[in-house]
Amino acid sequence: MAKACKELLLEQERCELKAKSGGGLLSYEVWGYCENGKTVVTRYNLAYINHDLFAGDNGRVLGFDNAHGYHHRHHMGKAEPVNFKSFEATLERFQQEWQHIISLGRKKS
């Protein structure tokens, strides 16, 4: 009989960004397990929160997660399904998008 893999919280991080870096908060939560030396991500929640940019959705300006049984993206209160290739690709997209949002804010200053 195959051994069941126990899902664990692999990463939980919250970073407050200084105003000169765009302000707000980055939040990463990743769950999964290790199998044969590889990490398997089962659940994730990535969010950029900044109440100065968006008051709705608890300040979540941008987010990616796979809650509710599908992979999706949140942006300024709207959610849309996304094609999922890998957690690493999703993380890279999230990082590029929140940095782009911050760069737009700097241009307005």
Q: What is the pTM of this model?
A: 0.89
User: Which structural domain, as residue segments, surrounds residue 85?
Assistant: 8-108
Q: How many CB atoms lie within 10 A of CB 30?
A: 19
> What is the rounded average pLDDT of the residues 81-101?
97
Whether 1 maps to a domain, the answer reads no
Q: Determine contact, residues 37/51, Cβ cutoff 8 Å.
A: no
> What is the chain's alpha carbon radius of gyration, rounded to the nearest angstrom?
16
Percent of the chain with pLDDT over 90: 80
For residue 21, being part of any structural domain is answered with yes
Residue 3 lies in a domain: no
Q: Would you say residue 73 lies in a domain?
A: yes
pLDDT value for 28? 97
Using CB atoms within 10 A of its CB, is residue 55 exposed (0-12), middle (13-18) or buried (19+)?
Answer: exposed
